[in-house]
Amino acid sequence: QVQLVESGGGLVQAGGSLRLSCAASGRTSSAYAMGWFRQAPGKEREFVTAISWSGAATYYADSVKGRFTISRDNAKNTVYLQMNTLKPEDTAVYYCAAAPRAGLPTREEWYDYWGQGTQVTVSS
């Protein structure tokens, strides 16, 4: 079992930045790809970005490419999401997730563990 706890959400003005963190505990010795998803009010949860176990490979949804950066520190069992140039349409609950697989999983069903989510609100 892996437990994930997100932090760093909040209210920010359009054009601003936030950094989300996702701390993992439990069976963290296994190799997990990590991802971030988000769910806006009235919408389905959508993929944002993923990072491989080593951190060498990353993948982004087109909507955030060039603005968001995912990174990880395996020594600290923590994954980060740096969000710059935020837009009102980035407003959502952001979830981190862990997938016990290689590569860069982009589908929800490939992830076994999920955090509780952290709210990000971008005002115009």
pLDDT digits (tens, 9 = 90+) for 56-71: 999 999 999 999 999 9
* Residue in the structure block whose two tokens are 């520190």: 73
How far apart (Å, rounded) are the C-alpha atoms in residues 120 and 32? 25
Q: Which residues pair with 24 in a beta bridge?
A: 4
Three-state DSSP state, 15 = coil
**Distance between CA atoms of 9 and 12, rounded to whole angstroms?**
9
**Per-residue confidence at 102, pLDDT binned at 50, 70, 90?**
confident
User: Mean pLDDT in the chain?
Assistant: 95
Element containing residue 120 per DSSP (H, E): strand 118-123
User: Which tens digits make up the pLDDT trace of 76-98?
Assistant: 999 999 999 999 999 999 999 99
List Cβ neighbours of 97 (8 Å cut-off, separation of 6 or more): 4, 34, 35, 36, 37, 108, 111, 113, 114, 115
pLDDT for residue 107 is more than 80: yes
What is residue 19's DSSP assignment? E
- Count the Cβ atoms, other than its own, within 10 Å of residue 23: 16
